[in-house]
Amino acid sequence: MSIALESSHLRPAASLAKTDSALPLSEAFAEILPSGLLRGQVVACQGPAAYSVALGLVSRAISVGSWLAMVDLEQVSPEALVEFDIPLHRVVGVSTGDDPANVLSAVFDGFDIVIIPAFRYRGALARRIAQRIRAKGVTVVVIDDTNEIRAGDTASLGDITLVGSDIRWEGIGWGTGRLLARHLTVSAMGRRSPRPLRSEMQLPPDSGTDLKWFQDDETDGVDELTDVAAESEELRWRLRAV
């Protein structure tokens, strides 16, 4: 006996898989990744703005509910995450120690997005974890600011490379001012793309929060900085505990 269920809240499994195969993206990144940020995909971020490109890429997905694991990336501060509007309570720092393959496999079981440095995605280790990435449907973002990754490390996954270029800073003159914004061109390249797609963007995005922090005649900015500092210390504790 079969029971038919009809409800606006129920969807066939096939449509669910199709809908949830891509993670949300900000508008600027959606222009160069028309298929979205796919689950089971590896994206390498290269160039001098690799860290900013990576954080900008995942910020939208984390802000709407996905969880992020940052592996062996202690140099990324909680303050940097806040600048990209990434909620700290959905970020966990992980140290792989002497057993990177098994630790990464465990991380892939519990997170939607994983950001790792290039030295953790090379050669034999990359090939060993590639199948796990596809099986678990986790999105892996590789920070490759020194161009360490060889073509063979990601070609088997049909992945994307994002490169930041034409970097322009705003707010500083000849010995005066302070850096307020960085504008750049981000190009997306992959074996499935007949030609690179490019998008002009500002990273970190202009949220207006940082400007409030510099208002000397307001106490709200001080309170906000205090809250961020408290969250930052909580995340640092978590980085040590994991």
The letter for the amino acid at 222 is: V
How many CA atoms within 13 Å lie on the side-chain side of 172? 8
DSSP-derived pairing of the beta strands 42-46 and 91-94: unpaired
Helix, strand, or coil here: 84?
Answer: coil
pTM score of the predicted model: 0.75
Q: Are the CB atoms for 113 and 139 separated by under 8 Å?
A: yes
Element containing residue 170 per DSSP (H, E): strand 160-172
* pLDDT tens digits for range 142-158: 998 887 776 556 544 55
Cβ neighbours around 183 below 10 Å, total: 13
Which residue ranges make up each domain of the chain? 22-207
CATH architecture of 22-207: 3-Layer(aba) Sandwich (3.40)
* pLDDT tens digits for range 42-51: 999 999 999 9
Dist CA 153 CA 125 (whole Å) = 9
What does the angle CA 194 – CA 48 – CA 133 come to, to the nearest 5 degrees?
60
